[in-house]
A and B are shown apart, each in its own frame.
Chain A
């Protein structure tokens, strides 16, 4: 087998550095005019880079230097957080991106790999959040355990919802999850036990006596209390990312792809369709639930209005925009989808409309999304 010289790590590093600086600029900017300018500039640079073929180089650099560049990405996140260590608003935004990424990674397993439609992602996220709300106020269970329970509950309820329609065509799962999304919201609103339409407070996280909701100092430098949550969220995302990566790069990932692409042929070769769809759905919902449980504690508050069908569609939009099946594409898309409406307050109201239009455009002209999913490589640096 011909030995190829390894692509240089530098295009990838450069892209990361440029991207990080850009992100910091956008997050720091306050004036709407400046933000719009930065966004337009950013789009222009991306378009130019694609046209010049620079993206191909960056892509290759990433695929062949995965471990190094993944590590650099974590450093980049830490750098961003370090710059804003006292800024509550920006840190909350970063945490939101991290946790939405975890949820979308879960959705990706269900939808991107196994092909199981889930239009109630935000509802399961909400189930996790409500678990935090209830357990934190009613019990003294350790909060890390509460996170776990949130995940398990979302997984269990998802399983109950999906089992009846597993042997049917895709659109059944679609309609069942949409119905669930609509009904759960109404159910929460009519049940005062769960706070009704106003919602419930969630007691903040504390681990071994260290309360997460107090600002603190490290070596004399003041830190926003959100730093606590940031660390846990980052760990969660790294864990979820590794899980999804390994899942895809295994026989299980292969099975999921096989059953998504051609169920009939897959069952002729021994694949247990039901088992794998359920497995994918369970793992996916588990991630969504944990992320939701943590998010509930971060925000301190849960209400039915935050976990609607429209919010579920946002998660699906992130998946489609970023590139189904590609975890990195997903994270980039999450950053865009979460950060832009927060900074550009004028479009907040229109975000559902805008994202729906963007997805329509993507589906018509570039269905593989921003970062298309590459062919499976079972280990970084190992190609069949």
Chain B
């Protein structure tokens, strides 16, 4: 394989890994803070992407022609809307079920995901069909032999890295982050230290859901297309990534995301006959990893006391 092709694969891997990592971090945040598997996370991503699309349509309708303005407004609106949605989900669906078996929360969020997905499919105009997503980033590119380095990919990669670094900073260097980590460690102690548990939970959900919206927009920009099922697909990948990285660990989620993307790339190279096989390959390896290291590559937090 020549260097140009290799570089292309690496670039693809980085882009995909970035998106998976963003989704995986969301899962890990929810699990960390509330011991909750929020299966609707992927579908929140879908709704976020469609919200962004709707904002774009709206902006076009009122005559806005600046791509940068479009982009900023879309990101702000979808992120804010999804943050709000995340808080509503936390407040009305997840928190009331805290005393019920964990299974019930898993099921309710799974069903919620279906509701979100179906609402997009049924109620967004032509929602059942894939919808084109505007290409709002600068279109130029540089050729390095076979390798075509696109500016928009570089920008997205940079943006993604910025967001992840931002999350890390938030969690590790701010008081809010400290509160979130405290709650994730031990709810009772955090409460006795004066932390407002409900507020932290809502903020964490808002954060994770906002992240999902951002990932949704990125996904739309990358593929220039969105459909009502992308969230489900990315959600399963993101969740698997979070698991093999180690649920509860942000680094683990990021690692898992890039690992999954890497596996998909390897799968594409090894099994070029149909793109579906790259996923089969990647998941097969992931399942094997789960069997070998059930607690994840970076330790999953233990929440059971015997």
B112 touches A360 (CB 8 A): yes
* Identity of the chain B residue whose Cβ is nearest the Cβ of A314 in the assembled complex: B114
User: By the criterion CB–CB under 8 Å, are B283 and A168 in contact?
Assistant: no
Chain B residues with a Cβ closer than 8 Å to the other chain, count: 38
Contact B111 A360 (CB under 8 A): yes
Contacts of A186 on B, CB cut-off 8 Å? 276, 279
Residues of B within 8 A of A309 (CB): 232
Q: Are B294 and A168 in contact (CB under 8 A)?
A: yes
- Which among B107, B110, B119 has the highest number of chain A CB atoms within 10 Å? B107
Q: How many residues of A contact B (CB 8 A)?
A: 42
Asked if A167 and B106 make an inter-chain contact with CB atoms under 8 angstroms apart, the answer reads: no
Per the bound structure, the CA–CA distance linking A352 and B118 in Å amounts to 7
Q: Is the CB of B115 within 8 A of A356?
A: yes
Contact A356 B114 (CB under 8 A): yes
Number of CB contacts from chain A to chain B under 8 A: 104
Measured CA separation A285–B123 after assembly (Å): 36
Say whether, besides A183-B283, A364-B93, A367-B100, A357 and B115 are in contact (CB < 8 Å).
yes
* A381 at interface by CB-CB < 8 Å: no
- Given A360-B112, A367-B100, do A164 and B107 touch, yes or no (CB 8 Å)? no
CB distance from B280 to the nearest CB of A (A): 6
Q: Which of B209-260 contact A (CB under 8 A)?
A: 232-233, 236, 239-240, 243
Q: How far is the CB of A269 from chain B (nearest CB, A)?
A: 14
Given contacts A186-B279, A264-B306, A367-B104, contact A360 B115 (CB under 8 A): yes
Asked whether A194 is an interface residue with its Cβ less than 8 Å from the other chain, the reply is: no
Whether A172 contacts B290 in the complex (CB less than 8 A), given A179-B240, A183-B283, A353-B114, comes out as: yes
Q: How far is the CB of B254 from chain A (nearest CB, A)?
A: 18
The answer on a CB contact under 8 Å between B107 and A190 is no
Shortest CB distance A68–B (Å)? 36
A320 contacts the other chain (Cβ, under 8 Å)?
A: yes
Cα(A176)–Cα(B283), bound, Å: 8
Question: Is A165 part of the binding interface, using a Cβ–Cβ cutoff of 8 Å?
Answer: yes
Does B61 belong to the interface (CB within 8 Å)? no
Known A172-B294, A356-B114; 20 more pairs at CB < 8 Å: A119-B110, A167-B294, A169-B294, A170-B102, A174-B106, A175-B236, A175-B240, A175-B243, A183-B283, A187-B276, A190-B276, A313-B110, A317-B111, A352-B118, A353-B115, A356-B118, A357-B111, A357-B115, A360-B108, A367-B100
